[in-house]
Structure formats: C-alpha cells, structure tokens
C-alpha cells in the first residue's frame, strides 16, 4: 500500500475538477476574467499535480513529452493560421488584414466573426501555454529522481 494513499485519493478527486475549471476559464473568457493563458496554466497544473503525487513516469505515460512538444508548436500554428485564414477569407474589395476576425463570418451585425476568431485563437493560446508549462516542468523534473519518501 502506498504511503501517500490519502494524497492520491484527494488528488484523484481534485484533478478532474481542476481540468473542468480550466475549460470553464477557457470558454468563459469572453464573459468573465480568464482566457487561454490562464486556462492553459490551470490544465498544466492538473497534470503537474498528477506527476507530483503519482510520480513523473505515470504523468509521462498519460501526457507523453512528444504530445507536449507538438502541442507547443501547434498552438502557435493555430493562432498564426487564423491570421492567415482571415487574409484569404475577405470578400472582394475589402481590405486584407492579418487577424481581422470579421472576415471569418459574414454576419457583421452580431460580430459573429469576432467571436469565432477569439474562440479559435484562445484555443491556440491554451494549447501552447499548457504544453509549454508541461515541457518546462518535464525538463526540470526529469533531471531529479522522484522525491524520496523521507522528504515528504
């Protein structure tokens, strides 16, 4: 039986709640405080908590470093890609502007294009920030052996 049984049970209860809160912060960013940056950090914290309690190897099996590496680049690509997409989606005669979200949807009255654009780039920010935080954590934590029991 693990000496950290209570920590493990509590962490198992907390981690799903932390992830759900992260997604709430992500998709509620238009209405309340928060956004992709904070949500990315919160979701990374959920994995880091898992790594602290269950060991870094378990976390590496759950979220492999390869995924983290690709995620960091993918987020930047999503963000920059939305900008490139807006360059090509503008109608004839309209000015071509990088990251001009109004081009994403024809409904100008309700600013639907702006909403689409903000949601899309926030997903990019979330992907990059969560991956980068995990990558840095993996890079640091991978250099030390797991915390010995007497140091808990």
Partner 1 sequence: MNHADLTQYLDYLLIAMLLAVGFAIVRLRNLFAVVMLTGVYSLLCAAWFVSLDAVDVAFTEAAVGAGISTVLMLGAMLLTARESEPAGVGRHWAAFVVVAAAGAALFFAIPDMPVYGDPESPANAYVGRDYLEQVPHDISIPNVVTAVLSSYRGFDTLGEVVVVFSAALGVMLLLGFGTGARRREEEED
Among 109, 126, 105, which residue's Cα sits nearest to residue 39? 126
Kindly indicate which of the ranges 7-15, 87-95, 96-104 contains the residues binding partner 1, using the contact rule CB under 8 A: 96-104
Strand boundaries in 42-98, DSSP class E: none
Are 82 and 117 a contacting pair, CB within 8 Å?
A: yes
**Torsional class of 2: left (φ above 0), alpha (ψ -120 to 50), beta (otherwise):** beta
CB of 9 to partner 1, least distance (A): 21
Residues 107-146 contacting partner 1, CB under 8 A? 110-111, 114-115, 117-118, 121-122, 124-125, 128-129, 131-133, 135-145
CB of 90 to partner 1, least distance (A): 15
Taking residue 10's Cβ as centre, other Cβ atoms within 10 Å add up to: 12
Binding track over 21-60 against partner 1, x by CB under 8 A: ----x---xxxxxxx-xx--xx-xx--x---x-------x
Both ends of the chain: CA-CA distance in Å? Answer: 16
88 lies in the site for partner 1, by CB under 8 A: no
79 lies in the site for partner 1, by CB under 8 A: yes
Structure-block tokens of residue 3: 């000496």
Taking residue 53's Cβ as centre, other Cβ atoms within 10 Å add up to: 19
Residues 2-21 contacting partner 1, CB under 8 A? none
Residues composing the chain: 152
Binding stretches for partner 1 (CB under 8 A): 25, 29-35, 37-38, 41-42, 44-45, 48, 52, 60, 65, 69, 72-73, 75-76, 79-80, 83, 98-99, 101, 110-111, 114-115, 117-118, 121-122, 124-125, 128-129, 131-133, 135-145, 147
């Amino acid at each position: 039986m693990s000496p950290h049984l209570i920590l493990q049970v509590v962490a198992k209860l907390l981690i799903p709640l932390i992830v759900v809160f992260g997604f709430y912060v992500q998709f509620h960013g238009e209405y309340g405080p928060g956004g992709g940056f904070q949500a990315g950090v919160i979701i990374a914290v959920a994995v880091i908590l898992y790594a602290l309690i269950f060991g870094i190897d378990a976390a590496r099996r759950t979220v492999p470093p390869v995924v983290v590496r690709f995620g960091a680049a993918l987020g930047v690509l999503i963000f920059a890609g939305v900008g490139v997409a807006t360059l090509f989606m503008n109608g004839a005669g309209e000015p071509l502007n990088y990251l001009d979200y109004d081009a994403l949807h024809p409904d100008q009255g309700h600013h639907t294009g702006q909403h689409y654009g903000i949601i899309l780039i926030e997903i990019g920010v979330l992907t990059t920030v969560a991956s980068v935080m995990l990558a840095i954590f993996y890079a640091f934590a991978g250099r030390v052996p797991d915390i010995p029991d007497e140091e808990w």
